Amino acid sequence: MIKCLAFDLDGTLLMDDKTMDPRTVDSIKQAMAKGIQIVIASGRDKNGCRFVYEPLGLEEGNNYLALVNGQIIYDFKNKEYDLDDVLMPEDGIKIQQICKKFDVEGIFCCGYDFYSYLSTMNRLKKKIKEVVAGKPMDYGLKSGGKYRNFINLPYEEVRLTQDINKVIMVHSEKFFKQNLDALKEALSDYDVLMVGPAWMEIMPKGVSKASALEKIAAKNGYTMNEVMAFGDAENDIQMLKRAGVGVAMGNAMDEVKEIADIITDTNLNNGIGKIIDKMVLGK
């Protein structure tokens, strides 16, 4: 019996325009009405999930957020946070050195402060791209709260004194195809996750959406076998592997589909709602 539904956001619960399919929302609310717990498991922080959890009404019940790829758990019922391991200042310096070696932008995520580590030449190229293509230099990371900051770091070793939740590496899809193996070797002390073709996230070892879900399950008296989890990217793989039912979206990366128990329709065609209706609501 399923007691918890866990959803990744981008590419999973969210359509490509960052909205939720009304059919999916209706199915989730029907599941909640049957007493099923909901967990949003995302790389985002709490403010970055607000536009999802408020319309779903998650604040009204015993529901959770597994934020920053599971590093931070927020308990709506008790209004409590639980923080797992973070990256230390020494990790920050090591990752800066790797960014410089591969000539890639590193974004150090410290709460609501996002620090961009990038060469002067690449920063100029990025500015030109912003003007020509209209792409924001902060990648939308400042959206979701007025206290967010996107700060350019000097291109030298900078010892960050804040907790580093994760580091994002941003470059082209072509770059990651050519350099991914070498990057993973250089970053072998960390968990390295491709979240999109041009977006990689670096996390402390062993911190994942799966580890967060295990804590939530234990706290609420059920097992991972009673969890159904939905995802589409590498940072969802452990969650789908450890859940009783791991569901890959039709638009998921091939690596995610390979380990999933079920492959559903895409995020654009009510992929989540179809599985909930069939396997949870018995329609």
The whole-model pTM stands at: 0.90
Please give the distance of CA 147 from its chain centroid, rounded to a whole number. Answer: 20
From the number of C-beta atoms within 10 Å of its C-beta (0-12, 13-18, 19+), residue 136 rates as exposed
What does residue 168 show for φ and ψ, rounded to 5 degrees? -105, 135
The predicted pLDDT at position 129 comes to 86
The predicted pLDDT at position 135 comes to 80
Chosen CATH of 4-84+207-280 out of 3.30.565.10, 1.10.287.610, 1.25.40.10, 3.40.50.1000: 3.40.50.1000
Extract the runs of DSSP E, i.e. beta strands, from the chain: 4-7, 37-41, 64-67, 72-75, 80-83, 105-110, 113-117, 149-152, 166-170, 190-196, 199-204, 227-231, 245-248, 262-263
pLDDT along the chain (283 residues), means of 10: 97 97 98 98 94 97 97 97 96 98 98 96 91 87 84 96 96 96 98 94 96 98 98 97 98 98 98 98 92
The predicted pLDDT at position 53 comes to 98
CATH architecture group of domain 89-204: 2-Layer Sandwich (3.30)
